[in-house]
Amino acid sequence: MKILITNDDGVKAPGIATLARHVARWVSEDPDSRQAMIVAPDRNYSGFSAAVGDVFEMDGVKYERFVIDGAESLPTYGLDAAPALCTILGAVGTFDFVPDFVLSGINAGANVGRSILHSGTVGAVFTGAQFGVSGLAVSVQWGDEVHYDTAGAVAVEVLQELANAPRGTLLNLNVPNLPGAELKGVRRGRVSHAALVHDALDPAGDSLGASGVLKLNLGAASPSLGDTSDEAEDDDGALIHAGYAALTPLRGPREDSDPGLDDTVEAALNIIAKHLEERY
């Protein structure tokens, strides 16, 4: 099993260091069949989803070798690139090996509900899936003292099962900010309706002027996890509030093959063809 570790908080972030140490120990238990390397942004790219930037205007991508304490055995590269581009460069064999698995995190803050669309942590595993690579995104609820070790321990437990899953399998793991002994367990979570931004207001007045600053009112999917009282008990945010880690299968971008859309698409094609004929 060849693992590419990445994140969106940057290669120097405490979350990826904790995850790297857990993976390094896991690899050492069976070095003949397990390998891991780190290819991560050299700075914070939170909220970049699966963006890669304008690669057509880039002269190249700068990189630097790093060493993570406690994970010295893992080759580590910091790139001047967003998480998705780090994943692409790893997936095409730029570094020490071609991975068959992307492990992204540990993100400082929960990635639940509709906010997963905007997460660079989740965006990295979505990107890997386009190469047929399975992935696990790992996040921990934010707090004054973040228990990254709890999330790291749970993530490693998931790894071996993912090795047996079909290629392209994607899982999103969110862990409450608790010591390991206080974690109630791990349950399958559903993607809730929680959004990242609830609304936005200009503090200067009720109506918008020519310019100003909008104050964002963050929703329940904020890193520290807001009010989840309106969620079902098996929704990802509600599970975290209840003290459980939530493991959620995801599906990356692909064609919607629902037959119910055939009539809609056919009608659109016909009207476009008609307009083109009339114009030309």
- Listing DSSP states for the chain in one string gives -EEEEE-SS-TTSHHHHHHHHHHHHHHHTSTTT-EEEEEEESS--TT-TT----GGG-S---EEEE--TT-TTS-EEEESS-HHHHHHHHHTT-SSS--SEEEEEEEES---GGGGGG-HHHHHHHHHHTTT-EEEEEEE---SS--HHHHHHHHHHHHHHHHTSPTT-EEEEEE-S--GGG--EEEE-B--S--SEEEEE-TT-SS--SS--PEEEE-TTSTT----TTS-TTBHHHHHHTTEEEEEEE--S-----GGGHHHHHHHHHHHHHHHHHH-
Instruction: List, for residues 259-280, the tens digit of each pLDDT value.
Output: 999 999 999 999 999 999 988 8
Residue 212 included in any domain:
no
The domain that holds 63 is classified in CATH as 3.40.1210.10
Residue 269 included in any domain:
no
Residue 233 included in any domain:
yes
Residue 260 included in any domain:
no
Instruction: List, for residues 170-226, the tens digit of each pLDDT value.
Output: 999 999 999 999 999 999 999 998 777 878 888 877 778 788 888 888 776 666 677
Q: Is the pLDDT at 89 greater than 90, yes or no? A: yes
- Region 100-125: mean pLDDT is 94
Give the pLDDT score at 205.
75
Residue 219 included in any domain:
no
Residue 131 included in any domain:
yes
Residue 105 included in any domain:
yes
Q: What domain count does the chain have?
A: 1
- Region 124-153: mean pLDDT is 95
Domain with 92 in it: 2-191+225-250
Residue 255 included in any domain:
no
